[in-house]
Structure 1
Amino acid sequence: MHLNRRNALRLGVLASVAPVGIAHQIPAGAAPAASLVEPFGLDAVALGDGIFADKRDRMLRYASGYEAARGELAGPDRMLYNFRANAGLANPAGIRPPGSWDDANGYLRGHYSGHFLSMLAQAYAGTGDDLYRRKLDHLVAGLGESRDALAAAAAQATPRVAGRTGTALRLTGSPLGHAEHVALPSGLVDGLTDLTVAVWINLAAIDTSRLPDPNADPAPLRNGVKVFDFGADADHHLYLTVRADNANPFPRFGITTSGTAGEQRVTAASAIPEGQWTHLAVTLGGGTAVLYVNGTAAASGPVALTPADLGATAANWIGRGQFPQGSVQYLGADVDEFHVFSTSLGADEVAALAAGAGPGGDLARYRFDEAPGAVCADASGNGADARVIAPTDGRRHPGFLAAYPETQFLRLEEFATYGGNAGIWAPYYTTHKILAGLLDAHRLGGNGDASEIATGIGEWVHSRLSVLDRARLDRMWSIYIAGEYGGVNESLANLAALHPDRPEFLQTAKLFDNTALLAATVAGQDLLDGKHANQHIPQFTGYLRMYEQGAGDDYFTAAEQFWDMAIPHRAYAHGGTGVGEIFRARDAIAGSLWQYPNDPNHAETCCVYNLIKLARNLFFHTRDPKYMEYVERALYNQILSSRRDADSTTDPQVTYFVPVRPGQARGYGNTGTCCGGTGMENHTKHQESVYFADRDGLYVNLYMSSTLDWAARRTEITQTTDYPFEGASRIEINGRGGRFDLRLRVPSWATTFTVEVNGRRQSITAEPGTYAVVSRRWRDGDTVDIAMPLRLHTEAALDDDTIQSVYYGPTVLAIKHDPVGTDLATGLISIAVGDDLDEAFEPAGDPLHFTADGYTFAPLHLGDEDPYHLYWRRQQPSAETLHTYSPRSRQ
C-alpha cells in the first residue's frame, strides 16, 4: 500500500506529529457551544478525478513550482522577505518580496505570506507530499527567527548616537522606518504668549532602494515632516517642518486654531542639507515670528496667534505631527540640544545658542546625553522628562510579528484614515492572515513552532488592545479599510480553543466586536447597504467561532441573521455578492448591474470565500440544507470560475472579481492581493465540505469524486461521479460499516432524485432542497446509486422578473458575447424563451454548452478571459420563473 498521509494516519505512523486542539473550523472535543455536525479533516478526504481535481492540481503546481528554479525553498524565502527586512535580518541574494500589496513598501505586506502558509498546509494535508511540508516548515522557521529578532531589538534600551555635542537621539523616519518620535509632557507651552524653540538636527538621507520607484526624487517625501509639533489636534497646533511643499521645499513655521486653511506662517528660502548638523530655531512674540537657520534669521513675518490660543496642548512631539490628518510622516534625523523657552529670544541669543553658548531652555532642555533608554531627561530642572516612542521603548510585547513596524497599529489607534500618505491600510487584517496561516500550519501540518508563534501574536494583540477603551475600539473598527481586521476574532477564538486555561484570548476576540453593526444585526436590522463587504463577512464567522467558545448566544444570532441579510437578498446567480467591494441595497440585483457606472466589477472573490466558510459553519449548528445549497452554488460556479484554466508558477492565476455586468470579462493573476491569497486557499481545500458526520450518520453534501477515510467507523466511502457534467453519482462503502443514516443532499433544482442500494430502488422522501435519508446496517461492498437528471432551469433577478440567468443542474450558463450597451435598456441581450426550456436551448456539442436564439451559452466555470453575460432579458418570462435563490423556490 502506498504510504501517503491518509494511510499513514490510519496506521498511526504520523501520530508523533499529529496536531492537537483545532479540528477543521470546529474545536476537537467538547466545546461550550457544541455543534450538531462535525467536518472531516482535509487529510481524511481524497479528491478523485474531475474538474475540482484539475483546478486543485493547477494550484498545486503553482505551490510547488513558485521560484523553484532558484531552489526548493526560494518561494518561501520570497514570502519571508518583508519579515526579515522589518526585523533587520539579511535576505538571501536575489530574493525579492512577492509584489503588489506585498511589495517592499506595501501597506499590507505580510498578508500574502499568511495565505501562502495556509495553501502549503492544505496542500500537505490533502496530498501527503513532503515537499509542501518542507516549504511550510521553512516558512514557519523564518517567521520564528524574525519574531525573535524583533523581540531582541525591543528588549534593548533606546540607544544614543554621536551628537553635535555629546550624544544625540536618532529617529529613523518614514515612510520606511520605525517612526520613532519623542513625546514631551502635556501642557508644556499652555498659556504662553511668547515662545522660543531651538534644536540641532542632522537630516538623514532617504533610502531610495525600497521606494516604489528608486529613480524618483525622494525629497517630496519630506513634505510636511515635522521637527516638532505642539498642540491639541490638527486644527490647534504650532509646528516646524523641514520642508513645506513642492513649491516651497524649505523649512516652515506655522501656527493655527482653524486647521491648514487658518495657518499663520513664515517660510525660509533655502533647503536644509542632508548629512550635516543644522541649527534651527523659532521665536514667537510681540506679533512676530522669526525662523532662524544656523543662527541667522531666514524668514520672519507677522503672526498674531500664540500658544495661549491653542488651549490645552496634550500632544507635544519631537519628530512627528498631529493626528488625525491625511498625511502623517516622521522625522528621519539625529536630534540634539532641544530647548524650549518661555520667552522670545533676541537674534544675539539665538546666535549664541547656534554657537554652543547662551542659556538653556527655561521650560525644557533635552541634551540626549543620558544613558540609553526610553526617557529623555530634562536638564532645565523642571522635571519635564520626555519619552521616546520606539520599538526599543520597553513597552513592546515579545510576541509581536509583522512585516512592517508596529507603528501601523499605533496609527490605527490614533484614528488614521485609509490611504494617502497616512501609510495605513488594515494592520489587523494582515495580523489575521499571518495568525490564520500559522494555526493552519499547526493544525494541518503538525508544526508545533507555528502554534507557539501564533500564541505569542495573540498575547501581543491582547497587550495592545486590552488597554484601550471601548469608544476608541469602536472608532478603530468603523474606519473604512484601515479598520478592516478580517477574521482575527475567529483566530483568537481558535487560540482560546487551544488554550482553554487562557481566558484572555476570548476576551481579546470580544475587543474586535463591531458593536453598532453587531447589535443591529442581532436585532434584525439590515444595515448592510454601503458597507465594505469583505470587511464585515469574516467578522460574523468570528462571532460564530466565539459563540462556540462560550462567548454568548448573541454571537450566534448575529451570524445567523447576517447570513439571511446577505443570502439571497444580495447574491448574484453565481453566488457572489457586492458591487466592487461594497454591499448594495437589499434585493437590488438587476438594479445594481449598471447603477454604479464607475465600478464595472462585481462579486469580489474574497467575499464568496468567506461566505462559504460562514455557510458551512452555520450548517454545523443548524443542519439547515440552505447553507449547503449555497456552498454548492458558490463553489461550482464562482470558485471554479475564479481559477484560470492554464498553469502558472509565477502567480496563482485567480480572479479578484467575477463580474456580472453583461459583457465584462474576468482577469487572472493577483499575486499579493487579498483575492490572490484567498484564491490560493480556495483551490487547495475543495474537499472540505463533501462529507460531514454526526452521531447518527454521514452527510453527503456535495457530489464530487472523492474517497473518505471515516476512521471513527473504520469505513471507507468512495464516491464516483462526473457531476456537474452528469446527474448521477455512485457511493461505495467498504470496511466495517454498521448502522448509520446516509443523508444525501437533494439539490433544489432536482425535481427527480432516486436512490438504489445494491441495485434496489429505495422508498425515500427526496424533496428538492432537503436531505434524503437511507437508514440501514451497511456492509462491506454496499453500493448506492443516485440519479438526479440534470435539467435546465432559470432564475430571475429579485427586482425584475424579465432579467434572468439559466442553469443546467447546478451550473450557471453564461452567454459568450461582447458588451452590447451600457444600461438596463441597451446592455442586456434579449432572448425569446418560452415555458419549454428544452425546446429553446439546444445542446451545442461541448459539455454543458447550449445555443438559444442564436447565442452560445457555456458554463461559467470555464477559466478563460472571454467577455460573457450572466444575465439576459427573457422576452416571454414564465409565470413559474424563480424569483429568488432558495432551496425551496424553483421553476
Structure 2
Amino acid sequence: MNLNRRNALRLGALASLAPAGLLHQGPAGAAPAASELQGPASWAVRPFGLDEVALGDGIFADKRDRMLHYASGYEAARGELAGPDRMLYNFRANAGIPNPDGIAPPGSWDDANGYLRGHYSGHFLSMLAQAYASTGDGRYRRKLDHLVSGLGECRDALAAAAAEATPRVPGRSGTALRLTGSPLGHAEHVRLPSGLVDALTELTVATWIKPAAIDRTRLPDPSQDPAPLLNGAKVFDFGADADRHLYLTVRADNANPYPRFAITTGGTAGEQRVTAAAPLPAGAWTHLAVVLGGGTATLYVDGAAAASGPVALTPADLGATAANWIGRGQFPQGSVQYLGADVDEFHLFSHALGAGEVAALAEGSGPGGDLASYRFDEDPGPVCADSSGNGRHAEVVAPYDGRRHPGFLAAYPETQFLRLEEFATYGGNAGIWAPYYTTHKILAGLLDAHRVGGNTDALHIASGIGEWVHSRLSVLDRARLDRMWSIYIAGEYGGINESLADLAAAVPDRPEFLETAAYFDNTALLAATAAGEDLLDGKHANQHIPQFTGYLRMYEQGAGEDYFTAAKRFWDMVVPHRAYAHGGTGVGEIFRARGVIAGSLWQYPNDPNHAETCCAYNLIKLARNLFLHTVDPKYMEYCERALFNQILASRRDADSTASPNVTYFVPVRPGQRRGYGNTGTCCGGTGMENHTKHQESVYFAGDDGLYVNLYMASTLDWSDRRTEVVQTTGYPFEGASRLEFSGRGGRFDLKLRVPSWATTFTVEVNGRRQWIDAEPGTYATVRRRWRDGDTVDIAMPLRLYTEAALDDPQIQSVYYGPTVLAIKHGPVGTDPATGLIDIAVGDDLDAAFEPTGEPLHFTADGYTFAPLHLGDEDPYHLYWRRQ
C-alpha cells in the first residue's frame, strides 16, 4: 500500500485550530482530530481534503496543470516572489510601504486606482493554497507565505497610522484641517452639533478654504477632466435631509462650475440659489462667506460680493437640523461627495453681517462667530474645539481618526466603507464599488491559506479583519444595514457571511463572528426566500448566490433553521428554473424570470452574454454544501453538469503565465464565442480557484460508507480506514470506470452515483455482476467487507439525449453522457425566428447524429457538434430548434 503522506506533518501542531465548518477543503496533509473529521453535526457526509485526493491523467488534470503553470510562472522571470509582490502592490501603497522596483499592480479592476483593488489578491491566495495542498510543491507554499507575511506587514502599518491623532496642517492663520475629498481621498469631514441653526431667521457662515488640485495620474482614466469630480462638493451643509437643507458648494455643476449657495425645503427642484460667476482657484486660500437675512442671500468671495439674490427661506423653515456638516453633504444621494480642501477659521453667526463686517473677516480682523467658531488650532485629534465659548465642539469623521480597529486590512482607505454606510452608489463621484465583496475575497483567501495551506499567521490576520468588520457594523442599526445590502453593486458583499461563519468555527471562543455574519442578512430577500416566495427576477445573480451559501454556513454554526430553509429554497428557484444547458445562469450578470430559458436568448438585445462564470463557481459551492446536509443526488447531478461543461469550458486550452486564461461569460446566445483572459476581474479570481480544486467533490465519507460522486481519474487516501482507492476512467469520453482498493478496507457501503442520463448502469466486483438497484438519479449501493486488491468495474454506456428549454419544447440542447454538445457555427440571425439553427431530428437520435471519429464529435443534418468543454474561441450554438 502506498498511501499519500507527503504532507502529513505540515499542520500537525495546528490540528486543534482547524475549523470544523471548513472541512470542505481539509488542512493540507494534516491529520485532524476525529471530532473534526465529522464536520458540523448537521452534515450527513464529509468531504476529503484536497491533499487526500490526487487527480489522475485526464481532462481535469490537463485544465488543472494549465492553471498551475500560471500559478508557478506568473512574473517568474523577475523572481519566484515577484508574482506575490504584484498582489501586494496596492496593499503596500495604501499602507505607505514602498514597493520593490519594477513591480506593478495586477491590473484591470485591481490596478493602482481600481475601486475593487485587493480582491484578486485574495483569490490568488486561495489558488496558491489549493495548489500547494494538491501537489505538495514548495514553490506554492513559499509564494503563499510571502503574500501572507506581506499582508501582515501592511495590516500593522495601517494600524500604526490609525493610532495617530487626526493631524493639522499649516493654515491661513495658525493651523487648518485638511480634508482630502473624493474620489481619491479619505472622505474626512466634520460633524457639527445638531440643532446648530434651528429657528434662525438670519445666518452668516464664513470660512477660509484652499481647494486641492486633483492629481490626474491617480484617476482610473488620467485623460479625463478632473474638474467635474468636484461637482457638488460641499463647503458646508446644514439641515434635516436632502430635501430640507442649506449648503455652499465649491462647484455647482458642469454648466455652472462656480460656487453656489442654496436653501430648500423641497429637494433640488425647490432650491432658492445664488451662484457666483467665477471658479475658485485650486491651491490658494480663498475667503468665502454666505449672508442670509431680510429675504436676500449674498455670496462673498475674498470679502467682495460675488452673487446676490432674493431668497425667502430661512434656517427656521428647515425644522430640526440634525445633520450639520463641514466638507460633506446630506444623504441619501446618488453618490456622496466630499470636499477636498484645507479649511480654516470657520465661523457661524446668528445674524446677517454687513458688507464691511464680511470684508473685515476676509482681512483677518473680524470677530469670531457668536454661534460657533472653529479655528482648528487645537492639538491634533478628532475634536474641533469651539472657541466661541458656547461649547459646540465638532468632531472630525475620518478613517484615520485614532478610533479605527487595528484589524483593518485593505488595498484602499477605509473611506470605501464609510461611503457605503452613507448609501453611496456604485461608481460616480463617490468612487465606490463593492467594498465588502473585496473584504470577503481577502478574508476567504486568508482562511484558505490557513486551513488548506497551513499558514498559521493567516488565521490571526483573518481574525483581525473579522474584529474590524464587527467594530464597523455593530454600531449600525438594522435599517441602515438593510439599505446598504440592497444597493446594486455597491452593496454586494460576496459570501463574507460564509467566511465569518467559517471564522466562528475556526475561533470558537469568539461568538461575535457569527453575530457579525448575521449583520449581512439581506433580510427582505432572506425572509421571502425562506417562505418560498421567488423574488429573484432582476436581481444581480452573483451578488446573491454566495449570500445563501453563507446562510448555510451560519446554520451549521447554530444560527437557526430558517437559514437552511432559505438556502434550499433559493437553490430550487435557480435550478432548473434559471439554469442553462451547461449549468450556468443569468443574462449578463442578472437573474431573469423564472422558467424563461429560450425566451431569454434574445430578450435583452444589448446584452449578448449569459452565464457569468462566477455564478457557476458559487452555484457549485452551494450545491455541494447542500449535499453535505441532505445527501440528495440532485445536487451532485448539478455539480457534474456545471463542472464537466461550464467550468471545463471556462479555461482556454493554451498555457499562459500572464493571465489565468479563463472566461467571464460562457454565452448561450446562438453564435456567440467565449473570451479568455480576465486578469484582475471577479471571474479571473474564481477561475484561478476553479481549476486548482477539481477533485474536491469526487468522494465523500459518511457513517454509511464511501460516496463516489463524480467519475474522474483520481486516487483517494482514506486515512481513517487506512485504505487507498484508485479510480481509473476515461469519463466523460467513455462510460466506464474502475475502482481499485488497497489497504485495510473493512466493511462499509460503497455508494455509486447513477447519473440521471444513465439508463444502463451495471457494477461488477472482482469480475462478478452485482444485482443492485441502480435507478438513474440515485446512488447504487454495494455492501461488503472490502479487502486489499478488490476491484469494482462500473459500466454506464454513454448515450445521446436532448433536453428542451423549459419554455419552448422545440428549442433543445443535446448531450452525450454528461457532455453538452454545441454546434460549431457563427450567428445566423438576431431573434428567435431567424437566429436558431433548425435541425431535422427524429425520435432515433443515434440515427440522426453520426460520430465523426473525433472524441465526442458528431454531425447532424450537415452541422458539426463538438463538446462545449473545448477551450477555444470558436462561435457556437448551445441551443437549436428541433424539427
Q: What TM-score bracket applies, with the shorter chain setting the length?
A: over 0.9
Structure 2 residue 570 is the aligned partner of structure 1 residue 562: yes
Structure 2 residue 429 is the aligned partner of structure 1 residue 421: yes
**How far has the Cα of 1:249 moved from its partner?**
2.5
Counterpart-to-counterpart distance in 2, 1:676 and 1:364: 53
Counterpart-to-counterpart distance in 1, 2:599 and 2:215: 50
Which residue of the partner structure matches residue 609 of structure 1?
Answer: 617
1:404 to 406, 412, 435: 412
**How far has the Cα of 1:677 moved from its partner?**
1.0
**How far has the Cα of 1:29 moved from its partner?**
5.4
Counterpart-to-counterpart distance in 1, 2:211 and 2:491: 33
Structure 2 residue 818 is the aligned partner of structure 1 residue 801: no
1:169 to 172, 177, 185: 177
Which residue of the partner structure matches residue 166 of structure 2?
Answer: 158
Structure 2 residue 33 is the aligned partner of structure 1 residue 25: no
Task: Judge which range, 29-38 or 804-813, deviates more.
Answer: 29-38
Q: TM-score, normalised by structure 1?
A: 0.96
1:241 corresponds to which letter in structure 2? Answer: T
Counterpart-to-counterpart distance in 2, 1:533 and 1:299: 50
2:711 to 700, 703, 708: 703
Q: CA 1:190–1:280 in structure 2 vs 1: closer, same or farther (change >3 Å)?
A: same
Alignment of 1:516-665 (within 5 A): 516-665=524-673
Counterpart-to-counterpart distance in 2, 1:864 and 1:770: 34
Q: CA 1:24–1:323 in structure 2 vs 1: closer, same or farther (change >3 Å)?
A: same
Structure 2 residue 732 is the aligned partner of structure 1 residue 724: yes
SS of residue matched to 2:66: helix
Which residue of the partner structure matches residue 236 of structure 2?
Answer: 228
**How far has the Cα of 1:209 moved from its partner?**
2.3
> Given that residues 25 and 48 in structure 2 are in contact (C-alpha distance below 8 angstroms), is that contact kept between their aligned partners in structure 1?
no
Structure 2 residue 665 is the aligned partner of structure 1 residue 668: no
**How far has the Cα of 1:16 moved from its partner?**
4.2
Which residue of the partner structure matches residue 786 of structure 1?
Answer: 794
Structure 2 residue 851 is the aligned partner of structure 1 residue 843: yes
Structure 2 residue 507 is the aligned partner of structure 1 residue 509: no
SS of residue matched to 1:564: helix
> Alpha-carbon deviations, 1:661-697, whole Å to 9, x = none?
1111111111121111111111110000001001232
Which residue of the partner structure matches residue 29 of structure 2?
Answer: none
Counterpart-to-counterpart distance in 1, 2:317 and 2:39: 59
Which residue of the partner structure matches residue 263 of structure 1?
Answer: 271
> Alpha-carbon deviations, 1:847-878, whole Å to 9, x = none?
10000000000000011111111011111xxx
Counterpart-to-counterpart distance in 2, 1:229 and 1:252: 12
**How far has the Cα of 1:459 moved from its partner?**
0.9
Counterpart-to-counterpart distance in 2, 1:843 and 1:218: 61
Counterpart-to-counterpart distance in 2, 1:395 and 1:624: 49
**How far has the Cα of 1:30 moved from its partner?**
5.9
Alignment of 1:27-426 (within 5 A): 28=36, 33-426=41-434
> Alpha-carbon deviations, 1:691-716, whole Å to 9, x = none?
10012321111111111111111111
Counterpart-to-counterpart distance in 1, 2:320 and 2:134: 61
Counterpart-to-counterpart distance in 2, 1:323 and 1:13: 52
SS of residue matched to 1:9: coil
SS of residue matched to 2:724: strand
SS of residue matched to 2:653: coil
> Given that residues 17 and 447 in structure 1 are in contact (C-alpha distance below 8 angstroms), is that contact kept between their aligned partners in structure 2?
no
**How far has the Cα of 1:267 moved from its partner?**
2.1
Counterpart-to-counterpart distance in 1, 2:183 and 2:322: 25
1:25 corresponds to which letter in structure 2? Answer: H
2:742 to 734, 740, 752: 734
**How far has the Cα of 1:26 moved from its partner?**
8.0
Structure 1 runs not aligned, ≥5 long? 876-891
> Given that residues 413 and 476 in structure 1 are in contact (C-alpha distance below 8 angstroms), is that contact kept between their aligned partners in structure 2?
yes
Which residue of the partner structure matches residue 7 of structure 1?
Answer: 5
Task: Judge which range, 270-279 or 187-196, deviates more.
Answer: 270-279
**How far has the Cα of 1:294 moved from its partner?**
1.5
Q: CA 1:137–1:657 in structure 2 vs 1: closer, same or farther (change >3 Å)?
A: same
SS of residue matched to 2:24: coil
**How far has the Cα of 1:96 moved from its partner?**
2.0
**How far has the Cα of 1:583 moved from its partner?**
1.3
Q: CA 1:43–1:125 in structure 2 vs 1: closer, same or farther (change >3 Å)?
A: same
Q: CA 1:59–1:414 in structure 2 vs 1: closer, same or farther (change >3 Å)?
A: same
Counterpart-to-counterpart distance in 2, 1:654 and 1:311: 57
**How far has the Cα of 1:274 moved from its partner?**
2.5
Task: Judge which range, 356-365 or 292-301, deviates more.
Answer: 292-301
SS of residue matched to 1:839: helix
Q: CA 1:518–1:488 in structure 2 vs 1: closer, same or farther (change >3 Å)?
A: same
Counterpart-to-counterpart distance in 1, 2:97 and 2:322: 37
> Alpha-carbon deviations, 1:819-838, whole Å to 9, x = none?
11112111111110001101
Alignment of 1:679-694 (within 5 A): 679-694=687-702
> Alpha-carbon deviations, 1:456-486, whole Å to 9, x = none?
1111111111122222222121221122111
Q: TM-score, normalised by structure 2?
A: 0.96
SS of residue matched to 1:8: coil
> Given that residues 288 and 302 in structure 1 are in contact (C-alpha distance below 8 angstroms), is that contact kept between their aligned partners in structure 2?
yes
2:331 corresponds to which letter in structure 1? Answer: F
How many equivalent pairs are there?
872
Counterpart-to-counterpart distance in 2, 1:309 and 1:845: 83
> Alpha-carbon deviations, 1:147-174, whole Å to 9, x = none?
1111111111111122111111111222
1:364 corresponds to which letter in structure 2? Answer: A
Counterpart-to-counterpart distance in 2, 1:294 and 1:326: 32
Root mean square deviation, CA, Å: 1.7
> Given that residues 31 and 548 in structure 1 are in contact (C-alpha distance below 8 angstroms), is that contact kept between their aligned partners in structure 2?
no
Which residue of the partner structure matches residue 881 of structure 1?
Answer: none
1:646 corresponds to which letter in structure 2? Answer: A
Q: CA 1:589–1:517 in structure 2 vs 1: closer, same or farther (change >3 Å)?
A: same
Counterpart-to-counterpart distance in 1, 2:411 and 2:772: 57
SS of residue matched to 2:297: strand
**How far has the Cα of 1:633 moved from its partner?**
0.3
